[in-house]
Amino acid sequence: MGNVFGRKSRPSRVTEQDRAILQLKQQRDKLKQYQKRTNLQLEKERILAKQLLKDGKKEKALVLLKKKRYQDQLLDKTENQISNLERMVQDIEFVQIEMKVIEGLKVGNDCLKSMHEAMSLEDVERIMDETQDAIDYQRQIDELLAGSLTQEDEDAVLAELEAITQGEELELPEVPSEPLPEVPEAAEPEPERRGARNKECGEMLSA
CA 47 from chain center: how many Å? 68
Per-residue CA distances from 39 to 27, 29, 42, 45, 66 (Å): 18, 15, 5, 10, 15
Query: pLDDT digit of tens for each residue in the chain (207 aa)?
Result: 445 555 555 666 778 888 888 898 999 999 999 989 888 888 888 888 888 888 888 888 888 888 888 888 888 899 999 999 999 999 989 998 999 999 999 999 999 888 878 877 888 888 888 999 899 888 888 877 766 667 787 788 788 888 888 865 545 556 556 665 665 554 444 555 555 555 554 554 444
Q: Answer for the pair 137, 144: CB distance below 8 angstroms, yes or no.
A: no
Question: Which ranges of 55-150 does DSSP label H, i.e. alpha helix?
Answer: 58-118, 121-148
**With contact defined as beta carbons under 8 Å apart, do 50 and 60 qualify?**
no
What's the angle, vertex CA 186, arms to CA 184 and CA 191, rounded to 5? 145
The pTM for the full model equals 0.45
Which residues neighbour 46 within 8 Å (Cβ) at sequence distance 6 or greater?
Answer: 64, 68
Q: What is the pLDDT of residue 71?
A: 87
So what's the pLDDT on residue 158?
Answer: 82
Domain boundaries, the chain: 16-162
